[in-house]
Structures are given as structure tokens and as C-alpha cells.
Structure 1
Amino acid sequence: MGIANVTGMTFDRVEVKFITDWLIPGKREAEVRLAAYRHTGRAERQIVSASSVLNLTGLADRTIGVVVMRWVHGIPYGWDYADDTTIYTIELQHRYKTGPEPYSPNRLQVYGMYKREKDRGADEGGGIDVGSGRWVAYQSGNNRSPIGYVTIPADRPLDNDVNGSYSISAMHYCVGLPAERIPEASAKGWAWAYGTDGGWGRDPDLTEPDFGL
């Protein structure tokens, strides 16, 4: 997520607001940072500044979180660069927090015969065969499904099959704000959060050019 430069616009303070969903402590935790990049017009991208990493851990129950970040980006030559090809972008970057693995559901299962709900079962013209030490249920089209483990549908919110996903959305920027409007802004970053726990983690790291897994 990012914004590109606009001719003639100069500023050094950025405010970003966004919401989070499905952050769960120890299961779905996020790392977030702001970063500025220089683009030369030749598909080359160089990181020039970054905020500290904000850790967002969520709450015990599913809660929509609201987060505000304020940052002094420190682009070396200003927003409006001197030539016709070089531009800057500022990005809000996020990923799973380094450490805990993404949440993997551990739902209950039962062992028994199974079929697809649209296929005919034994009481709908099919049949049951006992042989070779196993049970086989006849389905429509002469298909057969042996017995096996069947997952019970989720009965609790935290058991839903989301494969550890969380989301960040509804983002918007406020740019060019004067120091008296957001005096908390700094090169490392300032943040406020509601509906999620968290805190500052690692310091800015320009040796990490791509904030990805």
C-alpha cells in the first residue's frame, strides 16, 4: 500500500490510519512499518528510510482494531526530486510477526463413512458392502468412499478455517501536516492503537529492503 510523489508537494510528516481484523495473541500477530523508497524509472527500487517495527498482537477475542501511526520520513532530497525520472513512494508494510507460526486450526474429527452431500447414500439407492476388512459406502455413479476421518464444522470463532490470516484495510494517509498538528511524529515513529495490544519492536533497518516473508 503506498502513495507516489506529487509535483511540487513537500512535507516530512506522515499520518497513517488503518483497521485490523483477526489478530489473535500467539496465533495471528503482525509486524507493521512505514518505509520510503526511491524509484529511478528503470524498475529499480531503493529504500531510503523506514520507521521502527510496530508489533500488533490483537486481543483474546476477535476485535476490529484501529491504529494510527505518525512518522517523519526523512527523504534526503525532499519529496519533489530534481530530475524527471526519480520519484519517491511511501509504503505501509505488514507481515506476520517474526517468531510465532501462523495459526493452524486444530478442530475435532470423527471416524466414519463419508460422502459428498449431493451424492446418493445407502438409504437413497446406494448400498453398504462389508468385505476385505473395511466398510465401503456406495454413492451415485458407482463411486465408493471408504471410511475415514471427518472434520466437525467449527463451533467456536477461533476454530474457523482461515489459515492464520489477518487483514489490514480502510487505510488513509494525512500528508504534509505541520509539526504542531502531530508533534508526536518522529524518525522512529509514533503509534496509537485501540482494539489491539502491541508495542514497538525492532528499530529502523535499511538492510531489510523488502518487508516480506
Structure 2
Amino acid sequence: MYLEFKSKLSDSFLKTVSAYANYNDGIIQFWVDDSGNSVHFKDLQELSLRIENKINDSIRPVPEYSIEIDEIKEIVELKVYESGLKPYLYKNRAYMRRDFSSLPIDDRDEMKRLILEGLKQNYEDLPPTNQELTFNLLEEALRKKMNMDKLSLDILKILGLYDDRKGYNLAAQIISDENNIRMIDIVTFGIDINEFKEKILIENVSILSAYNQAVEV
């Protein structure tokens, strides 16, 4: 579970609420400095009410959350739970956690995946535009691991990659030898996350090949 400290109440915490509700349960402790110590705000009940009003007025749909007041530590603790009606939007944008920040989701595929998850559908089960897929790398991997002679359509069905009615799905496209998917971004940071020393993009290849390339990097 993620944990974030806020030494004051500003609307920026609503981005974190969106990120928690979309992906992972998380906690925000208010009137706490970066070391986890209280800054001794007195009217915790009023602060709790302001937090509740901001969430109810600003996040759509309203996520599942709870607010607790710790009079001894002099803090207010907000717990946000990953919820089912995704995406949860703040100012018409959905957010996700990356490192120690809450960032807007700009990737269209990730946004579609989040919407489908909210509709109780899996992104990987959707059919791709291209149904002309090859699986030489998968066949080679199965031959090495399972002594399989040939990759048949029946095996692809067993693996959940092919359906007689819908054809191949996006999971199959991810595993296929060639695709149009941006697989992995690898970044070497400098002295902080604002400095990129090196960036490597692995795309348009099977996820099996992308994995091996990532390990080599």
C-alpha cells in the first residue's frame, strides 16, 4: 500500500486520490512533514471535513475511501481503495502513480485498458486489427521447454490466444513475432528523475524478445 505525506491541504492530493482509486490502495497522511512527523495542526475535525468535501466534489465517480483522525499523533489519515468503477477522474483526467508522483495517463492504450477494467472486461481479450500473426518465437520457446514439435491452433486455443468466433486476441498480438506495440521503456536517470542519461525503447517485437532485451540492458 502506498503512503504519502502532506504538510498542508492543497488540491494536488486529489491527483493521488485518482491514482490510488485507479490502481492501488493508498494512504495520505495530512499535516505530516516528509519525515513523518506532525506539524501540529489543531482543528483536525475541520480538516477532515474539507478533505471529504474536496473528494466528493472533485473526483468522478466518487471512489471508496475512509478518513480517520488520530488525536494523539495530531494527523488526519485518508485511505483510498482501488475501486471498480474505473477510471476515476480529477478535472476530467485519470492519474497513475509513477515513482513518488501522481501523473496523468496520456497513453491511449493504458486508458482503454482502465476503461475496460471498469467495465469488467480484459484489454487482452479484445481482438486486434491485424489477424495475420506469426508465432515463431513462441513455438521455439515451447519446443525448448516442452519438447513440442509444432505450435498448432489447438494449442493457441488452450493458451487463451485464439477463439473460433473472434480469432486472435490482443494477448496473442503481444506474443506474436511482430506487432505495433510499444513494449518497454528503460531509463537511466542522472542525479534525479528530471535528468535522463539514457533511454531505450523496445517496441514492435514479441514480448518474449522484449523480455530478453530488457534483461540484457
TM-score class normalised by the smaller sequence:
under 0.3
More strand by share: 1
Give the TM-score normalised by the residue count of structure 2: 0.23
More helix by share: 2
Bigger RCO of structures 1 and 2 (CA < 8 A, at least 6 apart): 1
